[in-house]
A = this chain, B = another copy of it.
């Protein structure tokens, strides 16, 4: 590999002149520039990113941590973020945190080691451990969840879709369709996201004057298989619900699998509404009603907030709240009730 010293030697110029010629910054005669550029070309010179980084303290990379790389929900966020970042000449460094706080902490540490200039952290659960690490980290981190426990001194940005409201809308929609026995398949309520979603469901049921009997809320893991298993529990009992809210599309599809296997018609026997509104929703039969959680926009805004910190030196915290949106399709509209 050639470097500026080799070029300097071969051209008889000094390394600093070579550097100026290459960078275009600082004085440099037309002739010198010409000579340097030709020699650089000839030697296949390319600058070394690490050396530049060491000086400039910029890596031109952003760490993006997602809890589940197998879930299409996050693809959309990654896409949105990538769209924005590439306009700044930035790359995404992808990290799969697998719902593990330890993994998140490790990545925050990597950020501190300057693997990147900032981070977009998609977590299901902000707790004292990762929040402490986020506060300690000298580089900007943008969160993509609602962050309840904000302290006055906190200085990180976040962008979120109100998922409590999202699942509220889903539940309300089913209530509006006349359903009385509505069940919920949700993720772990030990995590923030699962907890919020369970609360949204309860709130809607309460506001609709409906009880939430024991056994009508099942915890699962956001996978199709998990959704299937949970649906089996709900549909196998004697007091079968007439409608099910699923906390994401994959579980809803698993739920539909279970219905199909049991000969239960959707939406005739059981109506289904889910959350995320991924591309799957328009592929299933019946098509799946779902809450659009604006994932692409979420990624886009997270990236924008981050680049404002990195590039524009914004210092004051900002947060953005996006509105979830109910998209009604076939799975939740009982034909005879129309």
Given A54-B50, A113-B46, also A69-B61 (CB < 8 A): no
Q: Tell which of A90-98, A169-177, A303-311 binds the partner.
A: A90-98
Q: Is the CB of B48 within 8 A of A54?
A: yes
Q: For residue A47, which residues in chain B have a CB less than 8 angstroms away from its CB? A: 113
**A260 to B: closest C-beta gap in Å:** 9
Please report the C-alpha to C-alpha distance between residue A38 and residue B92 in the assembled complex, in whole angstroms.
34
Chain A residues engaging chain B, CB cutoff 8 angstroms: 1, 44, 46-51, 53-54, 59, 61, 69-70, 72, 75, 78-79, 82, 86, 91-96, 109-110, 112-115, 136, 138, 224, 253, 279-280, 283-285
Nearest CB in chain B to that of A45: its residue: B112
- Complex contacts, A79 vs chain B, CB 8 Å: 69-70
- Interchain CB contact (< 8 A) of A284 among B82, B136, B285: B285
Query: Which of these, B92, B96, B115, B224, contacts A94 with CB under 8 Å?
Result: B92
Copies in the complex: 2
| Pairwise interchain contact B92-A86, C-beta atoms closer than 8 A | no
* Closest beta carbon of chain B to A248's beta carbon, Å: 14
Measured between beta carbons, the chain B residues less than 8 angstroms from A59 are: 49-50
Assess A112 versus B46: contact at CB under 8 Å? Given A69-B79, A72-B72: yes
**Please, how many angstroms separate the alpha-carbon atoms of A82 and B103 in the complex?**
15
Q: A91-B94, A253-B283 are in contact. Are A72 and B70 (CB under 8 A)?
A: no
> Chain B residues with Cβ under 8 A from A109's Cβ?
46
Q: How far is the CA of A47 from the CA of B115 in the complex (A)?
A: 10
> Do residues A138 and B69 form an inter-chain contact, with CB atoms below 8 A?
no
When C-beta atoms are compared, the residue in chain B nearest to A60 turns out to be: B115
Instruction: Report how far A136 CA is from B41 CA in the complex, Å.
Output: 13
Quick check: B61 and A93 within 8 Å, CB to CB? yes
Residue of B nearest to A107 (CB): B91
> Which of B54, B96, B113 makes the CB contact (< 8 A) with A82?
B96
A82 touches B61 (CB 8 A): no
Nearest-neighbor residue (CB-CB) of A249 within chain B: B283
> A50 to B53, Cβ gap below 8 A?
yes
A243 to B148, CA, bound (A): 55
- A sample of 14 more A-B contacts (CB under 8 A), given A49-B115, A91-B95, A92-B94, is A47-B113, A48-B113, A49-B59, A49-B110, A50-B51, A51-B54, A70-B79, A72-B72, A82-B96, A86-B96, A93-B93, A280-B280, A283-B283, A284-B284
| Residue on B nearest A256 in the bound complex, by CB | B283
A79 smallest CB distance to B (angstroms) = 5
Contact between B93 and A69, CB atoms less than 8 A apart: no
- A–B Cβ pairs within 8 angstroms, 25 of them: A1-B138, A44-B136, A46-B109, A46-B112, A48-B114, A49-B59, A49-B110, A49-B115, A50-B53, A51-B54, A53-B53, A69-B78, A69-B82, A72-B72, A72-B75, A72-B279, A82-B94, A91-B94, A91-B95, A91-B115, A92-B94, A93-B93, A279-B280, A283-B283, A284-B284
